[in-house]
Structure 1
Amino acid sequence: MSVIGIDFGNESCYVAAARSGGIETLANDYSLRATPSVVAFDGKKRIIGVAAKNQQVTNMKNTVSGFKRLLGRKFNDPHVQHELTSIPARVEARGDGSIGFKVNYLEEDQHFSPEQLTAMLFTKLKETSAAAMQTQVNDCVIACPIFFTNAERRALLDAAQIAGLNVLRLLNETTATALAYGFYKNDLFEEKPKNVIFIDFGHSALQVSACSFTKGKLKMLASTWDQIGGRDFDLAVAEFFAKEFQERYKINAKTNARANLRLLTEIEKLKKQMSANSTKLPLNIECFLEDIDVSSSMQRSQMEELCAPVLQRVEQTFKRLLAESKLQLDDIHSVEIVGGSSRIPSVKQLIEQVFNKPASTTLNQDEAVSRGAALQCAIMSPAVRVREFGVTDIQNYAVKVLWDSEGSAGPGEIEIFPQFHASPFSRLLTINRKGPFNVSIVYGQQVPYPDQTIGVWKVKDVKPNERGEGQEVKLKVRINNNGIVLISSATLVEKKEAEEAAAAEQAASEEKSSEQAGGASNSGESADGQQEGSDKKKKAGKATELPLEVSTHGFSPVDLSNYTQQEAKMIGSDQKETERIDARNALEEFVYDMRNKLQVFI
């Protein structure tokens, strides 16, 4: 049994594993460390990763990429509609309003959700990891963007479950980076905190976090983000070249999906060259469109002009982090950068301007996130021995709890977790009720998701006491290891008058048990917002667990089971097709060998 950490990127994935006394990034079946986040369908088999990326130009309609940004969303979501403009695959709305990628598989048209496609990619990563490690792989930690909401996190967990992975934790990407940095620099840290800024600038997102290190632990302080990345630089440059080619060659690349994809591929190569060279560099594409060869050139300063709006948003994100973290420039020890787009020279210049510190490249810019996730998995798994390192993450959005009105009293509302609250964390909320009621958890600020509601919990079997009065219902609201907010339990407390000493004993035992359960439980808030325990005479009583009916994001158990079975069938179908192709190749090899031998005798 082995443990792995997965960096699931919009463009490519990295997998790291704890072995041989350290963390190692695993190579795939093409001896590459990066596995493209691409899934393709060709006749009777699925093609995933490097092979899918290589045949994307020739099989565009049956090749799907960019599905990470669509997890947990509906087809009519404005964000989805924006993303679909850059996805050449066929996408349709399904009966329930979800997203369906239409592909030809097993000689018929089929629809797959972004979660199913993610599960297919995870299956491939699981197989290549098992082959590299030569052992079974089940336990993993998956890194996800800091801005993922409950819906997207649940969708990611559902995809992992379909693929047969046991996720020990969903870890924010900048937190994984901080762990990869701090774990090996532990000897440099003292009791006095050292503040480090981590900038993760990838293909489709910019994430910036502030982290405080002390010996043996890290604590995330604040995070900001913007949904811009390397692809936005590519699109700005592509727009320029498309106009130039239309003027010079009278061809419009935007009208042809294949030509547009080829242009973006060449621009990505040009962009990487411009990061190392400030001179003018050529761009040449043969048989680009209508059998016309096109050529042009560009230099770095010209690209920076074209991408000025993107760079401005990058600068604003940096400044926003300084404001939200409340750190002074003198408080910052260093600024660490990871992600492919952080190599752009103008981005490094902005870092130095805003933070007054040079951009430090202590970490591997491509593999740091997966290595941090693997470290977290090793710390959490009983299968691996590793020294302890404490990780305190944050909840990036404020969260409120709302509950139904009863009688003359209006509906209740309280902010249960402010923005950047420590995670994981539990808090008790006490509400006085006579009968069943609904509790909603919602975001207390604008989030990058159309539905602000996290979920609705119906608390059942609540009844009045013998005198017909309401009784206390204690709700345990929790941010779990995956950054998901939920009500983990509801308890009805039937109170009786008791001596203060007896109540004090019970309170002490409850506090001890909550600490053993791992919840950093604050004292619960009552319905009117006042802290409990204001009465001089304490009360003790019988506690009864109440049933909860939950309505939240994610697949139902039935759908999840069906998708898991469907994935298992597709894995079996792939194996059969691979065996058939191998047998055919072996037969052809035998026939050619025998023919050569017969020719020798003749």
Structure 2
Amino acid sequence: MEGKEEHAIGIDLGTTYSCVAVWQHGRVEIIPNEQGNRTTPSYVAFTDSESLVGDGAINQVARNPTNTVFDAKRLIGRRFSDTCVQNDMKLWPFKVIEGSSDKPMIVVHHMGQEKQYTAEDISSMVLGKMRETAEAYIGKTVKNAVVTVPAYFNNSQREATKHASATAGLNVIHMINEPTAAAIAYGLDKKAGWYNNRNVMIFDLGDGTLDVSLLSINTSGVFEVKATVGDTHLGGGDFDSKMVNFCVEEFKRKHNVDLSGNSKALRRLRHACEKAKRRLSYATVTDIEIECLHQGTDFFVSFTRAKFEELNKGFFIKCIEPVVKCLKDAKMDISSVHDVVLAGGSSRIPKVQQLLQDLFKGKQLCKSVNPDEAVAYGAAIQAAALSGNENGMLQGFALLDVTPLSLGVETQGCNVMYVVIPRNTRIPTTMKRSITTLYDYQTAISTPIFEGESPTTLENNFLADFVICNIPPAPKGVAGYYICFDIDADGILCISAENKFTGEKQGCTIISTNKIKQEEFKKSKRKLDRRELSKINQEENVTSKIKCKATETSKRTLDGRVKHAR
């Protein structure tokens, strides 16, 4: 039948390199691109005549740095005002400006015109390239895919990745956390020799993100995630930046010239530093040599592994912190971990491996799976299991994942975070929070939704303001509702409300890719007292709806209505 012949692929959408795989002929096959490479650069270049994705884009980056976009994964689902975005902008040769609703927009020149793209647009082009690569290899149209995301991606980043996948023509049958995918690749390969359950720690250090997950894998093929911790802005790219900054200062010291304003020179220097970083994983010293780097001046520096480790000492220590936290969250001690598996290209760095071994008291690290391919490998297995293309060879395979961040509401009248779904809760899941009116004859309730681990909402990530309107007037405390938090298997949040007494349900999905600036939220929140909410309700004559205001534009509209109501 045609349905059985339809292939589902697994895609590892990486910060610097992406990888695609498929299950066929009874095994996983990593799909090479048209250049024969098993990984494809997550680069998109724009010229006067065409746009290039992958190897074609990275091959011309030296002569076209301002129109070659990379690191889109560091931008996806973020605000322009985020500190990490502002810091990254200083290192990128391409231009990033503030768009509507605080959304970062990438500015390039294409076909003789200035154009703006979102990080989702760039990611969709990379995903489209991976789909085309798979179709050329399989010889059939591919629509269904399992796409991986960092375990610590928040709700907006997951939504944005799913949107990018849809734009690329892909039906995402599941979004899987990267370390979980790596665990599947490792576990399915090794479980034949196991006689008992194994506790496996996955340390996934890529170019832009770090994820640590602790899983229990049984001999029947059930993968249960116990805890996951990570950092969505820590990886090999940060190590490169430290090297670039050192070289810029070295060039200035030697030649008394500052090249930090030369985007083409910085791009060449960054490329040389990235190559040097890779060489230092197997050599103790390497040279960085670039002809005519700036104003016709050559640059040469000898870089030792010791110097590299000194520059990135703070980052390396930061890499170990999530491991300790993950063990604590899982309530498991070091001796209970059977295997420590490395994934992600940056896990090859000797200093990182040494720190991990020291933490686990000399335990040998598992390097049997290719860290560049492990995530796509596991995603392909999950895709085959979900689409039924494995012909029973994965019988018994099951995945039990968790949510990485706590989700909750702000306690009415203060900035205290009330957690509805704690982090590391198994997903999919649904939990409720009871709320009621605080004033007599209150006809609307505003409830802000947050994610994060701080006890105060001021330090957590604001998702949306959830407003229940057209509440029948009654004395305070009489009208009551449940706010229902529902997280699907992809880790995406959906909010609804349920009347405590009638059971009537209403709701909508939170769309949080354009998040409101925290200070604007606070300003709007102060205006939503009982009189204002009541007047908004009366003026709009709202009929039993729940309004989820998740964009800056909606907030400004709400403020305007409040002023008008006054």
Range into which the TM-score falls when normalised by the shorter chain:
0.7 to 0.9
Tell me, yes or no, if structure 1 residue 314 matches structure 2 residue 338: no
Structure 1 gaps of 5+ residues are 496-545, 557-602
Tell me, yes or no, if structure 1 residue 333 matches structure 2 residue 338: yes
Task: Map 1:447-486 to 2 at 5 A.
Answer: 452-459=461-468, 470=478, 473=481, 475-486=483-494
Give the match's secondary structure for 2:143: strand
Q: Which residue of 1 aligns with 2:244?
A: 238
How has the CA–CA distance of structure 1 residues 132 and 552 changed in structure 2, closer, same or farther, with 3 Å as cutoff? farther
Q: Which residue of 2 aligns with 1:102?
A: 107
Task: Map 1:410-449 to 2 at 5 A.
Answer: 414-429=418-433, 437-446=445-454
Cα drift, residue 167 of structure 1: 0.9
Distance 1:412 1:347 in 2: 37
Contact 2:93–2:266, Cα closer than 8 Å, also in 1:
no
Q: Which residue of 2 aligns with 1:515?
A: none
Cα drift, residue 297 of structure 1: 1.6
Distance 2:419 2:88 in 1: 33
Q: Which residue of 1 aligns with 2:521?
A: none
Q: Which residue of 1 aligns with 2:207?
A: 203
Letter in 2 for 1:208: V
Tell me, yes or no, if structure 1 residue 74 matches structure 2 residue 72: no
- The one of 228, 239, 257 equivalent to 2:234 is 228
Give the match's secondary structure for 1:248: helix
Cα drift, residue 22 of structure 1: 1.4
- The one of 355, 358, 374 equivalent to 1:368 is 374
Cα drift, residue 207 of structure 1: 1.8
- The one of 194, 210, 214 equivalent to 2:198 is 194
Cα drift, residue 212 of structure 1: 1.4
Distance 1:451 1:552 in 2: 15
Give the match's secondary structure for 1:478: strand
Contact 1:459–1:490, Cα closer than 8 Å, also in 2:
no
Tell me, yes or no, if structure 1 residue 152 matches structure 2 residue 150: no
Give the match's secondary structure for 2:127: helix
Distance 1:113 1:478 in 2: 28
Distance 1:282 1:445 in 2: 43
How has the CA–CA distance of structure 1 residues 489 and 185 changed in structure 2, closer, same or farther, with 3 Å as cutoff? farther
Q: Which residue of 1 aligns with 2:70?
A: 65
How has the CA–CA distance of structure 1 residues 270 and 95 changed in structure 2, closer, same or farther, with 3 Å as cutoff? closer
- The one of 325, 338, 351 equivalent to 2:356 is 351
How has the CA–CA distance of structure 1 residues 362 and 443 changed in structure 2, closer, same or farther, with 3 Å as cutoff? same
- The one of 366, 383, 387 equivalent to 2:395 is 387
- The one of 173, 182, 186 equivalent to 1:177 is 182
Cα drift, residue 239 of structure 1: 2.9
1:89-113 deviation digits (Å, cap 9, x = unpaired): 1222224432221222232111111
How has the CA–CA distance of structure 1 residues 72 and 363 changed in structure 2, closer, same or farther, with 3 Å as cutoff? same
Distance 2:273 2:467 in 1: 53
Contact 1:2–1:383, Cα closer than 8 Å, also in 2:
yes
How has the CA–CA distance of structure 1 residues 319 and 468 changed in structure 2, closer, same or farther, with 3 Å as cutoff? closer
Task: Map 1:13-162 to 2 at 5 A.
Answer: 13-162=18-167
Distance 2:185 2:274 in 1: 28
Cα drift, residue 163 of structure 1: 1.6
Contact 2:183–2:202, Cα closer than 8 Å, also in 1:
yes
How has the CA–CA distance of structure 1 residues 411 and 105 changed in structure 2, closer, same or farther, with 3 Å as cutoff? closer
Give the match's secondary structure for 1:185: helix
Contact 1:155–1:554, Cα closer than 8 Å, also in 2:
no
Distance 2:320 2:223 in 1: 26
Structure 1 or 2, whichever has the larger Rg, is 1
Contact 1:72–1:151, Cα closer than 8 Å, also in 2:
yes
Distance 2:550 2:142 in 1: 30
1:207-245 deviation digits (Å, cap 9, x = unpaired): 222111223212112222233222222222333333333
Cα drift, residue 68 of structure 1: 1.0
Give the match's secondary structure for 1:445: coil
How has the CA–CA distance of structure 1 residues 129 and 554 changed in structure 2, closer, same or farther, with 3 Å as cutoff? farther
Cα drift, residue 378 of structure 1: 1.7
Distance 1:290 1:450 in 2: 45
Distance 1:258 1:6 in 2: 31
- The one of 244, 257, 261 equivalent to 2:263 is 257
Q: Which residue of 2 aligns with 1:550?
A: 548
Contact 1:183–1:389, Cα closer than 8 Å, also in 2:
no
How has the CA–CA distance of structure 1 residues 373 and 97 changed in structure 2, closer, same or farther, with 3 Å as cutoff? same
Distance 2:434 2:180 in 1: 33
Letter in 1 for 2:373: E
- The one of 265, 276, 279 equivalent to 2:282 is 276
How has the CA–CA distance of structure 1 residues 11 and 438 changed in structure 2, closer, same or farther, with 3 Å as cutoff? same
Distance 1:128 1:121 in 2: 11
TM-score, normalised via structure 2 length: 0.80
Distance 2:257 2:202 in 1: 43
Letter in 1 for 2:493: V
Distance 2:317 2:204 in 1: 17
Letter in 2 for 1:241: C
Cα drift, residue 374 of structure 1: 1.5
Cα drift, residue 156 of structure 1: 1.1
Contact 2:201–2:337, Cα closer than 8 Å, also in 1:
yes
Contact 1:318–1:354, Cα closer than 8 Å, also in 2:
no
Give the match's secondary structure for 1:183: helix
Tell me, yes or no, if structure 1 residue 298 matches structure 2 residue 303: yes
Q: Which residue of 2 aligns with 1:516?
A: none
Q: Which residue of 1 aligns with 2:515?
A: none
Give the match's secondary structure for 1:254: coil
Distance 2:40 2:235 in 1: 19
Letter in 2 for 1:272: R
Contact 2:26–2:390, Cα closer than 8 Å, also in 1:
no
Q: Which residue of 2 aligns with 1:521?
A: none
How has the CA–CA distance of structure 1 residues 362 and 254 changed in structure 2, closer, same or farther, with 3 Å as cutoff? same
Letter in 1 for 2:399: V
Letter in 2 for 1:254: S
Letter in 1 for 2:147: I
Cα drift, residue 464 of structure 1: 8.5
How has the CA–CA distance of structure 1 residues 395 and 96 changed in structure 2, closer, same or farther, with 3 Å as cutoff? closer
Distance 1:464 1:389 in 2: 53
Structure 2 gaps of 5+ residues are 1-5, 504-543, 555-566
Give the match's secondary structure for 2:280: helix
Cα drift, residue 553 of structure 1: 6.8
Distance 2:418 2:306 in 1: 51
How has the CA–CA distance of structure 1 residues 425 and 185 changed in structure 2, closer, same or farther, with 3 Å as cutoff? farther
Letter in 1 for 2:22: A
Cα drift, residue 125 of structure 1: 1.6
Cα drift, residue 282 of structure 1: 2.8
Give the match's secondary structure for 1:341: helix
Letter in 1 for 2:548: V
Cα drift, residue 468 of structure 1: 13
Cα drift, residue 493 of structure 1: 4.8
Letter in 2 for 1:485: L
1:392-429 deviation digits (Å, cap 9, x = unpaired): 11112222245879xxxx99985321121111112345
How has the CA–CA distance of structure 1 residues 139 and 336 changed in structure 2, closer, same or farther, with 3 Å as cutoff? same
Distance 2:51 2:151 in 1: 31
